[in-house]
Chains A and B, each alone.
Chain A
Amino acid sequence: MLIKVILTGVFLLLSSVIIIQAQAQEQTKKDVLRIDSVQANFTQEKQLPILARPLISKGRFIFKAPDSLRWEYYSPIHTVLLMDDGRISKFVECKSGFVAEHGMGVDSMHVVLSEISSWLDGSIDDTPSFQVQSKSTDIIVLVPKESALKNIISRIELKLRGQTGLMESVTIHEGAGAFTRMVFTESVLNETHGSVAPKVFKKP
């Protein structure tokens, strides 16, 4: 359950980026662009009432359609979450190198993939877990459908970067002064210098 929650959150963030791109494409309805890959750096700010100051994490994610992902944190803890052709694994760097963390809930992948699939279909208003509460030109607010998920995430705010269709930031509110904000930079949609190398999604 723990891993399921974590993975769902992680993939939600990734998926959010894809959503906006898909939505932008749908809005134009002239040039439907196939999403082959998405990658970006991110800075994550975690704020909690208990924290004297935000906890800052930095990392990068790479997604390749249909279901390969590398979600990597460089600091403060170097971890790599991988989904390679649907198989999920997670590694943590220690002195001896990257060590696999066990106990992953493989079934969580199906939950996540169903979300991704729905969003890629342009069904942002009706995904299995979230629904749009409000939508403006540059901010979309999502709220959970299920009460169980509401106990974990109260809402998600997606901020767009102008008319590019790319995401500027995602803020996940957990309630009671706790939130996680991820700011994306150097986003690349559909790598033009060849496809993303398959080894990116292999054990580091």
Chain B
Amino acid sequence: MKIAGITDPVTAIGLRLAGVRRAYEVENSAEAGELFDSLIKNEEIGIIIISERIAQDIRWKLDRFLEERRGVRPVVVEIPDKVGPIPERMETVRKLVRRAIGVEVLR
């Protein structure tokens, strides 16, 4: 299977240098959403790498997808852009863990 990226232009260059040919740059959240929809339908795509700030813009879409996904494909992972990580990054994981364990366990 292949990797695809939904990122800003700078990150797309980086991913291409790393050997991800399908590193797509998007301009706005509408474009990001459309691209995401088409990538999840593509059975060739095993991993979708998405810039955090773009992920925030289409959060509802990501959440719904992960909720409804059968099986594990595609795996979705969020990465920081050139400006650096966003503070909300860990919130989704934290929420799940808090619900599961009942206490804060992440460093």
Check if A and B associate: no
Q: Which of A's residues lie within 8 Å of B, judged by CB?
A: none
